[in-house]
């Protein structure tokens, strides 16, 4: 029996099976429908997880003021960078560190000279039932399995948290047991749900969580490391977007006063924008 005959026979299957007919009709409809309604965003903005809500607010504002359309895709900085290296169709990359944007520029995947610090994030130790105010060295009293950080391998806030933990002189064995999660937003969620007792959060994720009601945190429950561990968040225009007006507009607007105000309101400090 040759394959050609097999393929011919399929026509018969399509005819005799109602399920097949249904699927066919469905696919046809989908192609027609999809063709008409595919209003693709003009620019895809890949943002570090902690900046997700702010980026959505910025997108809403820019869309209201212009005809540009934006799509925000959030993930940890390291993961987004590796996706870009593997061909992900993003136009702007808003990282939570300096290193990854620079790597993309070095590889020719981002426009050189387009780097700018768009926000300076703040790392904090959130420990709701701490005895007194949270302190780094007091963490040793907790089981390390109940302490949570973003994964230092690909999340800048995790990297900063790991440095703080290591500098606090905690035992190597204790450090090994610390729970690492996908991104810094998850840390706040896990503590809010009581699944972890303490963890290193971004000020922005706490603010976002409190705004949507999933997190309740009092100020005295958090120890902030504004000076010891400022997190410079750098953005770049990706190479494929050099001719993309929407992406250019996004990059230019980041230093505009109303946008800077949005960023500041969400728990970031601002720099002068120079790299």
Partner 1 sequence: MSGDLQAVWLTALLAATTTLLLVPIASPLAWWLARSSSPSRSLVEAVVAMPLVLPPTVLGFYLLIMLNPESSIGGLWVQLTGDSLTFSFSGLVIASIIYSLPFMVQPLQAAFRAVPESVLEAAATLGASPRDRWLNVVLPMAKRGYLSGCVLTFAHTVGEFGVVLMMGGNIPGETRVLSIAIYEHVETLNYDAAHMLALGLLCFSFLSLWLVYRYAGHRFEVVRG
The stretch among 79-87, 144-152, 153-161, 264-272 that binds partner 1 (CB under 8 A) is: 79-87
In the range 134-193, which residues lie near partner 1 by CB under 8 A?
182-183, 185-186, 189, 192
Q: How many residues bind partner 1 (CB under 8 A)?
A: 44
**Residue 108 binds to partner 1 (criterion: CB under 8 A):** no
Give the nearer residue to partner 1 in terms of CB position, either 32 or 256.
32
**Any contact of residue 36 with partner 1 (CB under 8 A)?**
no
Comparing CB distances to partner 1, the nearer of 16 and 218 is 16
Rg of the Cα atoms in the chain? 23
d(CA 155, CA 62): 28
Closest CA relative to residue 25, chosen from 38, 12, 14: 14
DSSP assignment of 130-175, as one string? -SSS--TGGGGGS-GGGEEEE-TTT-HHHHHHHHHHHHTT--HHHH
- Min. distance of Cβ 19 from partner 1 in angstroms? 6
DSSP 3-state percent helix, strand, coil across the chain (nearest 5): 50, 20, 30
- Under rule CB under 8 A, residue 243 binds partner 1: no
209 binds partner 1 (CB under 8 A): yes
Q: What 3-state DSSP class applies to 24?
A: helix
Burial class (CB in 10 A: 0-12, 13-18, 19+), 170: middle
Q: Which residues of the shown chain bind partner 1 in the complex (CB under 8 A)?
A: 1-3, 5-10, 12-13, 16-17, 19-20, 23-24, 26-27, 30, 34, 38, 40, 44, 49, 52, 71, 73-75, 83, 86-89, 182-183, 185-186, 189, 192, 209, 212, 214
């Amino acid at each position: 029996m040759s394959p050609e005959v097999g393929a011919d026979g399929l026509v018969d299957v399509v005819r005799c099976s109602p399920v097949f007919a249904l699927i066919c009709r469905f696919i046809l409809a989908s192609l027609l429908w999809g063709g008409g309604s595919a209003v693709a965003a003009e620019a895809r903005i890949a943002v570090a997880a902690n900046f997700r809500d702010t980026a959505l607010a910025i997108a809403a504002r820019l869309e209201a003021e212009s005809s540009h359309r934006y799509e925000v895709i959030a993930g940890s900085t390291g993961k987004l960078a590796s996706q870009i290296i593997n061909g992900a169709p993003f136009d702007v990359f808003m990282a939570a560190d300096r290193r990854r944007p620079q790597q993309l520029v070095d590889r020719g995947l981002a426009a050189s000279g387009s780097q700018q610090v768009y926000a300076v994030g703040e790392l904090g130790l959130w420990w709701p039932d701490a005895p007194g105010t949270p302190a780094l060295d007091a963490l040793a009293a907790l089981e390390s399995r109940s302490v949570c950080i973003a994964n230092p391998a690909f999340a800048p806030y995790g990297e900063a948290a790991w440095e703080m933990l290591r500098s606090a002189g905690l035992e190597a064995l204790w450090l090994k047991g610390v729970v690492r999660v996908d991104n810094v937003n998850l840390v706040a969620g896990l503590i809010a749900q009581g699944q972890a007792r303490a963890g290193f959060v971004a000020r922005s994720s706490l603010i976002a969580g409190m705004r949507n009601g999933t997190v309740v945190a009092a100020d005295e429950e958090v120890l902030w490391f504004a000076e010891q561990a400022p997190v410079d968040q750098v953005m770049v225009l990706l190479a494929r977007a050099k001719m993309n007006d929407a992406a250019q507009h996004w990059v230019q607007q980041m230093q505009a006063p109303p946008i800077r105000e949005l960023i500041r309101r969400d728990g970031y400090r601002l720099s002068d924008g120079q790299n």
